[in-house]
Structure 1
Amino acid sequence: MLAQINIQLEGNYLNFNMGSLFHGYLMEHIDTAYADYFHYNTTNPFTSCIYKEKDKYFWRITTYNKKAYDMIIETLKQNMPEQIYIRHKDTAFNVVSYDIQETSFEELFLSNTKCNRTTLLTPTTFKSNGTNQIFPSISTLLSGVIEKINKHSDSIMLSDEKIISELLEKTYIKDYNLRTKIFNLEGIRIKGFIGTMDLSIKGDNTLSQLLNFLILSSQYTGLGRKTSLGMGGVKI
């Protein structure tokens, strides 16, 4: 079960740095035990970010297993508020509209939609040698998507190490338009990258299909670190 909900918001001072505050709001409005479970995970089966598109701001939440869908998406569907009140800022943001999209890993794998360009909606980073990186390593980012799928998916496991190794070796950035960007997380400044990148692969149809699947899946898993706190939001 894959789903994403995009909530259009209105209000002053909205920006992607508020991702962790909206994460806090979400945790306050779902089952307490499930929220505590998220707190102790290194990766979670959902993402959350604030992004801007055509002068409009959206809060996007994605889930990529059924439990997360039931606890988060269903909760919002059944009780979508007229306003989102962020206690830390003592500010309310109006909910203008929202839409929900649902699919599955199986549908993505069989999809005829060919995706090369990945848009990073919010600052993205990963750690290497203990340091946050400001330029993508495709091998590391795709490995992260695979790890999240294998850990949290109810229906699919990517376990052929030979094919995965070949995929990571042969995938490359064909073009990019990236810039460094700071993400402010509860007083900590995290430097990452934002923009677009076009991926390609030197391989047969099997590898191309797998790469396409991972790119499509990254919309739901996010890319890199702290994707439930507002970083690594992806649009295809």
Structure 2
Amino acid sequence: MLRRFEAELRLPDGARAPSSMGSILHGALIEQLPEDYADYLHTENLRPYSQSIRWDRARERVIWRIGTLDRTAGEIIGAVLQSLEHIHLRQKGYTVDMQNIQCIEERGYQDIADEYFRAETAPRGAEIHFLTPTSFKQGGAYIILPESALILQSLLARWNRFCPDIRIEEDDLAQTLAAHTRLTRYALRSAAFSVEGYNIRGFRGQIALQFAGSDMVRRILGTLLTFAPYAGLGIKTALGMGAVETDIWKG
């Protein structure tokens, strides 16, 4: 089960909320979780959630968004969020008020797969909006461009880890899928994300991908990119990097 939660944050006067504040909020969230579950999370390479913070211009509010990737994470994190009226940020030395906490979306993995595999026509492409700094790591080096193979590798790893009943796997599948995408438009800029005083280089902006290949290839691409807003893309999605929204071009 996939869920997305949202909360409006009221910061003290004069306080700023850059994307990298997601790292501080993550630490504060971990402190609120049951001890045994927090201990379990520290042993996991892939966390069953993503989270990020951003300024919503339309609402003129700082929005904290958390996506959970399995039922346990959704239930535990959801219960913790609903119990909070404020959260203390020790690294900042102040408390943030939380308002309008709600689950804005809930879907099953099967529901997402059915949306594309039962549709009459396969999707034609997608837009990906990178809302917070995004980066990938390959061979020990940071990759600060949205390479299709790395995007798809990131999504396949999380989908198969948290949805073992509907696995999407085949040898070199990320590369095979990437070979059937074509970048048709982009508007990107470099961006940094600070973690404990260290800046990780990445990018923000948006890209458009056109899908090619067989119906099956395009249906898998649509499925994975619909999953992306819950999972995030790339590295350190639990700390606030790699938050995305996607728009799938259907039919």
Query: How far 1:165 moved relative to its partner?
Result: 4.7
Amino acid at match of 1:53: D
Counterpart pick for 2:138 among 118, 124, 128: 128
| Cross-structure match for 1:65 | 70
User: Which letter maps to 2:168?
Assistant: L
Deviations 1:144-178 (A, max 9, x none): 11011111225421124476553232123221111
How far apart in 2 are the matches of 1:172 and 1:85? 45
Query: Alpha-carbon deviation of 1:182?
Result: 0.6
Local SS of the residue matching 1:224: coil
Candidates 20, 25, 29, aligned match of 1:26: 29
Give the equivalent residue in structure 2 for 1:159. Answer: 169
The alpha-carbon distance between structure 1 residues 164 and 87, as it changes in their structure 2 partners (threshold 3 A), is closer
Greater CA drift, 155-164 or 172-181? 155-164
Tell me how far apart the structure 2 counterparts of residues 58 and 68 of structure 1 sit (CA, whole Å).
20
Kindly report which structure 2 residues correspond to 1:201-212, keeping only aligned pairs within 5 A, or say none. 201-212=211-222
Give the aligned partner of residue 5 of structure 2: 5
Range with bigger deviation, 66-75 or 189-198: 66-75
SS across alignment from 2:154 = helix
**What is the alpha-carbon distance in structure 2 between the residues aligned to residue 193 and residue 187 of structure 1?**
18
Residue matched to 1:53: 56
Question: Which moves more between the two structures, 109-118 or 221-230?
Answer: 109-118
Does 2:220 correspond to 1:216?
Answer: no
Q: Is the 8 A contact 2:149 2:174 kept in 1?
A: no
- Counterpart of 1:74 (choices 76, 79, 92) is 79
Please tell me the residue identity of whatever aligns with 2:79.
Answer: E
Aligned pairs for 1:168-179 within 5 A: 168-179=178-189
Between the aligned residues of both structures, percent identity stands at: 29
Backbone CA RMSD of aligned residues: 1.9
* Correspondence 1:233 to 2:236: no
Q: Distance in 2 between matches of 1:94 and 1:71?
A: 20
Partner of 1:94: 97
Match in the other structure for 1:104: 108
Paired amino acid for 2:7:
I
Q: CA deviation at 1:8?
A: 1.2
Select between 65-74 and 26-35 the one with higher mean Cα deviation. 65-74
Q: 1:192 to 1:163 in 2, by over 3 A?
A: closer
d(CA) in 2 for partners of 1:172 and 1:98? 38
Stretch deviating more after TM superposition (184-193 or 108-117): 108-117
Rounded to whole Å, the distance in 1 between the matches of 2:172 and 2:203 is 30
Give the AA of the match of 1:93: V
* TM-score under structure 2 length normalisation: 0.87
Runs of 4+ with deviation above 4 angstroms: 112-115, 162-165
Contact 1:126 1:224 survives alignment (8 Å): yes
Q: Is the 8 A contact 1:66 1:154 kept in 2?
A: no
* Amino acid corresponding to residue 2 of structure 1 in structure 2: L
TM score, norm. by length of structure 1: 0.92
